[in-house]
Amino acid sequence: MKVTNIRFKSSDLIEKSDGLRFNVPQRGELATGFVVRFNGKPYAYLNQCAHVPIELDWQQGKFFNLTQDFIICATHGAHYEPNSGRCVLGPCKGKSLQPIEVYETNDEIIINLESIP
């Protein structure tokens, strides 16, 4: 059966803390996405840097920089705005992460995999 959405408990997604990873089968066997909470809202992206298409997190789920105000790429340090996915510093400045539709309702975070092109 084709998986069209992924659900997490809202309480598992902590503000500016570890992101939750999930598989994105339609982008290949090993492709992953992630969701983080920033200023109260969930934001989900494909886990693929806009510079070189490799995963961002330096350890699984570790997406934020030390001051917890940017998503960073572990490889060359690109900084992305958590709420827009736009790279504001680093080799892919001006490019963006691929957003994935996400919403929160009834204490659940729901990721819509069908929103991925």
**Contact set with ligand FES (CB under 6 A):** 49, 51-52, 54, 73, 75-76, 78, 90-91
CB 109 within 8 A of CB 8: yes
HSE value, Cβ hemisphere, 13 Å, CA-based, for 15: 3
Q: Smaller CB distance to ligand FES: residue 99 or 110?
A: 99
CB of 52 to ligand FES, least distance (A): 4
Alpha-carbon distance of 25 to 10, in angstroms, equals 23
CB of 11 to ligand FES, least distance (A): 30
Helix (H, G, I), strand (E, B) or coil at 115: helix
CB of 22 to ligand FES, least distance (A): 20
Q: Smaller CB distance to ligand FES: residue 36 or 78?
A: 78
Q: Smaller CB distance to ligand FES: residue 58 or 103?
A: 58
Q: Which amino acid is at 16?
A: K
The owner of tokens 């998503």 is 71
